[in-house]
Structure 1
Amino acid sequence: MSSTNFMGKLLDGVEVEWKSISDVFHLKNGYTPSKSSKEYWTDGTIPWFRMDDIRENGQILGDSFQKVSSSAVKGGKLFPANSIIISTSATIGEHALITVPHLANQRFTCLSLQSSYIDSFNIKFIFYYFFLLAGWCKKNTTMSSFASVDMDGFRKFQIPILCPENPKKSLEIQAEIVRILDAFTDMTSELISELTSELTMRKKQYNYYRDQLFSFEDDEIEWKTLEEVANFSNGKGHEKDITKDGEYIVVNSKFISTDGQVAKYSNKQICPLFINDILLVMSDLPNGKALSKTFIVDVDDRYTLNQRIGGISVKNKNELLPKFLYYFLNRNPQLIKYDNGVDQTNLRKDQILGVQIPILSLTEQKRIVSILDKFDVLINSISKGLPREIELRQKQYEYYRDLLLSFPKSEEIEA
């Protein structure tokens, strides 16, 4: 059934009136209470939301959000319960429905229904409709030090009022739309969760077999420090040299941790790299997943490093295969042990060069590399296929959600 026919049946005989956001909502800017005023942050009971506290689907991340005391409230007025916060700067468009009195930081704009419209709307319906507003926000930003929404246009964004002369029927229609979208949201979330779990299990399986291959019990195995078998250097900060059409791919921790899917480009070569050089992440957030993750260079003179990445080149390839070292150093326990789970971990050069490397016969190194290459192909296939499936499911959900919320702007609803 086409969206026009579906909406025609759902809204048969229903008038749709359009109002601007500024007509329907009170708008307030979020703010951050002074960090130097300890009384604001002591024994707090009022939720204060930041960008990290919400997901893209508007869910609040547990109850780990910060709370402030009543003394931190400007003018003694909280953002009311059953209002929506939406990011209008930085991470544009992310929004959440908040069902308790609260505050939010300066990245958010809070929208609460004006008293004359409280009985006209199901707030969950508005929450879903604001995914369309979020899309508008992302397309209508101004740039200064960071992205921010065109607030004049934001205030003029149109909200549909269904059968304005019959509030009861309007609420019934809104409730039905919410019911459908709630069910579709739950179904999509469950499917994405299953796909994500499958991807996680496959990666754990890969890590298990890799660790087994690197569990050496032979006392006759020779061990050498990385300093003995390889040369080491790291990059420099060069954000000013980054351009979209530059000649060199700047390797950073995000580039490595996403398997090369994210890259920045520089028009100035700072740290040249060559095929079979190994790149290692030297810095990561507490309990992150990128520390000591590796990348092996696949072509000469294409990559350059930022200051948080170490470059490693094998001294004698007749003694140590670069691909073997690449696999061995990847998330190596000798390095990730420095992650204390509290502060950002910054590996020192001496810690990296002190890693003990097993010196096996080239035949054995080739055997291990061959096995891990096959695992790598399998896992990469799954790692690319499942996220693609997750992306498609999410897009499918968004497509049907937007269809359900596409109300005709003409006075007549086509059958």
Structure 2
Amino acid sequence: MSKLEELINKLCPNGVEFKKLSELMTPNPKSKIGAKKAEQMLKGEYPFYTSGKSVYYINEHMVDGENIFVNDGGQADIKYYDGKSSYADHVISFRPINVNGKYLYYVLMKKKEYINEKMFRGSGIKNINKNDFFNMLLPVPPLEVQCEIVRILDNFTLLSAELSAELSAELSARQKQYEYYCNKLLNNVETKEITFGEACDVITDYVAAGSFGDIAKNVQYINIPDYAQLIRTVDIKNNFQKADYIYVSEKAFNYLWRVNLDKECIILPNIGVNCGEVYYLDPEMLIYEKNVLGPNAILVRSNTNNIKYLSYVFKTNDFQKQLRRIISPAGQTKFNKTELKKLILHLPSKEIQDNVVEKLEKFDKLCNDISEGLPAEIEARKKQYEYYRDKLLTFKELKK
């Protein structure tokens, strides 16, 4: 029997008390420092927690000792720090009381998905409902049990982080090796110069269907499964792991026939921060039977060239440099189909393209396939840690 099991059997064999978060914390005052202001401040030793993933270090601190930080907009990003620190104006900060601070942090991390799904309200960037958040019931075992759980999870976190770092370093090395191998295969072949428009038979997009007014009349977005799924670049980028999908009716699907994703293609985001990214898409990769491409991206196909080979070419430095020249920096970054068609490609014969793709796909699988190789191992370690953490922090409620 482990020490934790002995403590639970001794101190709380019949369950533990559940308390509201508000009983386990003292709120810190709202910050008057925005993230932009923090960027302008002199760099210092005190961490400054923002509403995003970034953590700055500035020369002022607002709190000391154990504190927890939860961003107020978007999705819950929960951080813990023991020492002098500061936080941005869109961050909820509080000091744990009547509880081990690190234990409270681990409990909140376990509840992160629940917080995201149930406690953020509003349209656009959602904000946390503080009443729901602070009234959330959390398990509070005896302090000795809390401390033992923290000791176990701290050690497991350290081991998991070390292993993930090793795997990530190995993955990075493999990816650099892959990039070298890819460039070598792409460059050491005899090629002919050809324009983008000559190489690709289909270069179209969502707005090719008609005017914005006509599209608005014929295409309405639906939030529940319908005739077809509207594929956005964010869906592809997330490897279809998130469930907030958009659907369209049969009428809209037929209206958007130009961007039907029934054949393999390349997707090039052409509006916004994703300009320059390249996505190869095969119908087998899609989870819905019928699919159409959403706005802000260009769909490319070719009957004379290997489409997978073209996707490799589009990621090369030479092509990306050309692409950057036609991206308009004014307002929202973007480029158009007309300028894209003028870009120059250097392509070998179709036979050579097929041979290069066959070789690259074997190596690509090890480096990039989420279901195999190193990325899958990293993801498995993360899930293993979360499972172990959640199991340690699950208690039955003490009946009064």
Q: Which residue of 2 aligns with 1:74?
A: none
Normalising by the residue count of structure 1, what TM-score does the alignment of the two structures yield?
A: 0.71
- How far the C-alpha of 1:215 sits from its partner, in A, is 0.5
Contact 1:93 1:133 in 2 (8 A): no
Q: Which runs of 5+ in 2 are unaligned?
A: none
The whole-number CA distance in structure 1 between the counterparts of 2:152 and 2:371 is 31
Q: Please report how far the alpha carbon of residue 156 of structure 1 lies from its aligned counterpart in structure 2 after TM superposition.
A: 3.1
The equivalent residue for 1:111 is 94
Asked if the contact 2:195/2:342 (under 8 Å) is kept, the reply is yes
Give the structure 2 partner of residue 291 of structure 1.
276
| Among 51, 63, 82, the residue aligned to 2:66 | 82
Counterparts of 1:321 and 1:162, CA distance in 2: 61
Query: 2:78 aligned with 1:94, yes or no?
Result: yes
**1:351 & 1:162 partners in 2: Cα distance?**
64
1:363-392 Cα offsets, whole Å, 9 max, x none, are: 323322333344445555566454443333
Listed as ranges, the matches of 1:3-402 within 5 Å are 7-11=4-8, 13-14=10-11, 18-28=18-28, 30=30, 33=33, 43=42, 48-53=48-53, 64-65=55-56, 67=58, 78-87=62-71, 89-92=73-76, 94-97=78-81, 99-106=83-90, 108-113=91-96, 117=97, 120-138=98-116, 140-141=118-119, 143-145=121-123, 146-158=125-137, 170=143, 173-216=145-188, 218=190, 221-230=191-200, 231-236=202-207, 241-259=221-239, 264-267=245-248, 268-269=252-253, 270=256, 271-273=258-260, 275-283=263-271, 285=273, 291-298=276-283, 302-314=290-302, 317=303, 319-329=304-314, 331-337=315-321, 346-377=334-365, 379=367, 381=369, 384-402=372-390
- Indicate how the Cα distance of structure 1 residues 392 and 297 shifts in structure 2: closer, same or farther if over 3 A, else same: closer
Q: In 1, are the aligned partners of 2:110 and 2:389 still within 8 Å (CA)? A: no
| Paired position in structure 2 for 1:75 | none
Deviation digits for residues 180-216 of structure 1, max 9, x if unmatched?
2111001111222233333333333333222112104
Offset at 1:353? 2.2
Larger Rg: 1
Partners of 1:261 and 1:121 lie apart in 2 by 36
Q: Is the 8 A contact 1:282 1:346 kept in 2?
A: yes
In structure 1, what is the Cα distance between the partners aligned to 2:69 and 2:128? 14
Per the TM alignment, residue 309 of structure 1 is displaced from its structure 2 partner at its CA by: 1.6
Q: Which amino acid aligns with 2:232?
A: N
Looking at structure 2, the residues matched to 248 and 30 of structure 1 have their Cα atoms a distance apart, in angstroms, of 46
Deviations 1:33-67 (A, max 9, x none): 5799x7995558675422323xxxxxxx5xx5275
Say which SS state the counterpart of residue 259 (structure 2) adopts: coil
Aligned partners of 2:318, 2:24: CA distance in 1, in Å?
A: 59
In 1, distance between residues paired with 2:187 and 2:77?
48
Deviation at 1:84? 0.8
C-alpha displacement at 1:25, in angstroms? 1.8
- Pair 232,262 (structure 1): closer, same or farther in 2 beyond 3 Å: farther
Residue 403 of structure 1, CA deviation: 3.1
Structure 1 counterpart of 2:247, which letter? Answer: S
Contact 1:257 1:293 in 2 (8 A): no
CA distance, structure 2, for counterparts of residue 79 and residue 291 of structure 1: 42
- Identity between Structure 1 and Structure 2 (%): 23
Is the 8 Å Cα contact of residues 49 and 105 (structure 1) preserved in structure 2? Answer: no
- What amino acid is aligned across from residue 56 of structure 2 in structure 1? F
- Aligned partners of 2:235 and 2:32: how far apart in 1? 32
Amino acid at match of 1:391: E
- Displacement after TM superposition at 1:27 (Å): 2.6
Counterparts of 2:71 and 2:34 in 1: how far apart (Å)? 20
CA RMSD of aligned residues (A): 4.1
Could you tell me whether the CA contact under 8 Å between 2:268 and 2:299 is conserved in 1? yes
Aligned to 1:58: none
Q: Distance in 2 between matches of 1:359 and 1:383?
A: 31
State how far apart, in whole Å, the 2-side matches of 1:159 and 1:21 are: 7
* Contact 2:280–2:311 under 8 Å retained in 1: yes
1:147 and 1:348 mapped to 2: Cα distance?
32
Q: Structure 1: how far apart are the matches of 2:3 and 2:281? A: 53
Q: How many angstroms apart in 2 are the aligned matches of 1:26 and 1:202?
A: 48
Question: Cα 1:25–1:241, aligned 2, differ >3 Å: closer, same or farther?
Answer: same
Secondary structure of 1:26's match? strand
The CA distance in 2 between the partners of 1:407 and 1:260, in whole Å, is 33
Matches of 2:152 and 2:283, distance apart in 1: 49
- Which string of whole-angstrom CA distances, capped at 9 and with x for unpartnered residues, describes residues 94-113 of structure 1? 3333532423332x322224
Cα deviation, residue 311, structure 1: 1.7
User: How has the CA–CA distance of structure 1 residues 292 and 94 changed in structure 2, closer, same or farther, with 3 Å as cutoff?
Assistant: same
How far apart in 1 are the matches of 2:205 and 2:183?
27
CA–CA distance in structure 2, aligned partners of residues 208 and 154 of structure 1 = 49
Note if contact 2:319-2:345 (Cα within 8 Å) is conserved in structure 1.
no
